[in-house]
Amino acid sequence: MDLRYWLPRAVDVVERWGEQFGPYQPHSSHLVSEEAFESAYDEFAKRMENNYPFFHPRYIGQMVKPPHPAAVVGYVTAMLYNPNNHAEEGGPATTEMERECVAALAGMFGMRDHLGHLTTSGTMGNLEALYVAREAHPGKGIAFSSECHYTHERMCQVLGVRGHKLPVDALGRLDLDALDHVLATGSVGTVVVTTGTTGLGAVDPVHEVVPLARKYGVRVHVDAAYGGFYSILARSDDPQGLDRRPWLAIPDCDSVVVDPHKHGLQPYGCGAVLFSDPHAGRHLMHDSPYTYFTDSDLHLGEISLECSRAGAAAAALWLTLKLLPLTPDGLGAILAANRRAATRWADLIDTSPSLRLYQRPELDIVTYFPTVPVQTLSAIDTATDRLLRDSMAAAQDPVYLSMLRTDADAFVRRHPQTARDAGSARVLRSVLIKPEAEGYLDQLHPRVEELAVEAAAPVGQTGFWW
Ligand SMILES: *Cc1c(COP(=O)(O)O)cnc(C)c1O
């Protein structure tokens, strides 16, 4: 797919459609000359050089990658019409596309019934799910693990609901004993489970949480913002080493959030929230004096906390899913490659003299740290920081990584031989969200090893000044 062909084609499509409405005179107030635009654009393009190469396999930092070209063309084409998926009359075509995409996402999770819509982000989807949770269990709190996304705690504050932060097990998953304990107090109405934590990619035991929650009459919300698309593999014949059980329990939960702008190849501005009760929308119903005059069905805006939303986001996702559907051979092939890359890299790190695994990856996030001469938390933290900065600043062969702060207890639990001389230690975290990582590992791994050796050497022996 060549954008040089398809982007002008988008302009043609919209112009040809517009011609049927007859000519009109554009107002002079917003006309700009080609010269003025040229100089503004030059400045803009220059400013955009200040970026990290998210597209390149040497970037394995955060969960970021550019959208698929199909998403770009879908988005740009729809944006030229600029539909607003708040209501049917804001964009009939993209509203239909949104409903189809949401149905496809529900199918991906194996949900038997659903009500849902796209959101601008995972955070907004989670806010809406927790808002509905509060309405369903007024006066009750919300429980989540210390490894869940930091916005859950913040959203509890926004909603005026008490948040109960629970400990995790040795692999960063919600601790069931702690959950049982807090549920027994009767003060919790909803528990949040995460299938793929943002830090470690840890998958909470949804299949064990659901029966526990049901015993106490408590709701379960699944934050699958990051990991959700792994449901394709988990439900397939070849789950690539994933434990299927948490994923198979998602249809038994009350709500789920997934971010197509992470693994779903979409540009930012595309999350989704789905409820398994098709009547969950009653908690969100409202009357707007301005809109809703074309459809007797529920408008997307009637079941959503947000008002305006880009119809273009639905268009981009719809066009992408036409080409890469939510099947093992479609989008699943990308996730399988990410998984293979993560497992293989973990194996390489496991036998490397200069690197150590923090823990084995459950999805595609690999966490590790440089081998240091004397294993103390402070030495690991210092070497990690050095490695991260050196690897990005290298004039030749840079690598872009990210860090994760681990507390002393969590670290020593995994690596008991570590001297606990600090309250925490940062470790390296690489998100292998691009399938290209698989083919690039043979370059990447030796390079990160080399950087690790330099980062762990005593100051003054690396040939650099500090
Ligand atoms: C990314 C993420 C979020 C937040 O989603 P945004 O789209 O960044 O707002 C929430 N939960 C998890 C598990 C995430 O990985």
Question: Which whole number is the average pLDDT over 206-217?
Answer: 98
Distance 59 CA to ligand 1 centre (A): 20
pLDDT band at residue 302, thresholds of 50, 70 and 90? confident
Distance 16 CA to ligand 1 centre (A): 39
Question: Residue 462 pLDDT more than 70?
Answer: no
Fold (topology level) of 331-456: Aspartate Aminotransferase, domain 1 (3.90.1150)
Q: What is the pLDDT of residue 295?
A: 42
Question: Average pLDDT of the chain?
Answer: 94
Distance 155 CA to ligand 1 centre (A): 12
Question: Residue 464 pLDDT more than 70?
Answer: no
Distance 24 CA to ligand 1 centre (A): 44
Question: Residue 461 pLDDT more than 70?
Answer: no
Whole-model pTM: value is 0.95
Distance, CA of 33 to CA of 73 (rounded, Å) = 26
For 92-148, what is each residue's pLDDT tens digit? 999 999 999 999 999 999 999 999 999 999 999 999 999 999 999 999 999 999 999
Our mutation pick for probing the ligand 1 site, out of 203, 223, 263, 433, counting the most ligand atoms within 8 A of Cβ, is 223
Question: Which whole number is the average pLDDT over 415-429?
Answer: 97
Distance 147 CA to ligand 1 centre (A): 12
Decide if 379 contacts 420 (C-beta within 8 A): no
Which residue owns the Cα nearest ligand 1 atom 2? 225
287 backbone φψ class: left, alpha, beta (φ>0; ψ -120 to 50):
beta
Structure tokens at 401: 């990584």
Question: Residue 465 pLDDT more than 60?
Answer: no
Give me the percent of the chain exceeding a pLDDT of 70.
95
Strands 365-370 and 424-431: antiparallel
Secondary structure (DSSP) of 111-173: -SS-EEEEES-HHHHHHHHHHHHHHHSTT-EEEEETTS-THHHHHHHHHT--EEEE-B-TTS-
Contacts for 118 with CB less than 8 Å, ≥ 6 apart: 85, 98, 101, 102, 260, 270, 271, 272, 300, 309, 313, 314, 317
Distance 389 CA to ligand 1 centre (A): 25
Q: Which atom of ligand 1 is nearest to the CA of 194?
A: 13
User: Quick one: which of 177, 146, 149, 137 has its CA closest to 164?
Assistant: 146
Which residue owns the Cα nearest ligand 1 atom 5? 122
Question: Which whole number is the average pLDDT over 368-374?
Answer: 96
pLDDT band at residue 294, thresholds of 50, 70 and 90? very low
What does the domain layout of the chain look like in residue ranges?
74-283+301-323, 331-456
CATH code for the part of the protein at 74-283+301-323: 3.40.640.10
Q: Which atom of ligand 1 is nearest to the CA of 226?
A: 15
Q: Which atom of ligand 1 is nearest to the CA of 259?
A: 7
- Measured from CB, residues less than 6 Å from any atom of ligand 1 are 121-123, 126, 149, 151, 194, 198, 223, 225-226, 259, 271
Instruction: Decide which of 74 and 88 is more confident.
Output: 74
Distance, CA of 350 to CA of 359 (rounded, Å) = 10
For 145-166, what is each residue's pLDDT tens digit? 999 999 999 999 999 999 999 9
Question: Residue 229 pLDDT more than 90?
Answer: yes
Q: Which atom of ligand 1 is nearest to the CA of 148?
A: 13
Our mutation pick for probing the ligand 1 site, out of 198, 268, 309, 365, counting the most ligand atoms within 8 A of Cβ, is 198
Distance 259 CA to ligand 1 centre (A): 7
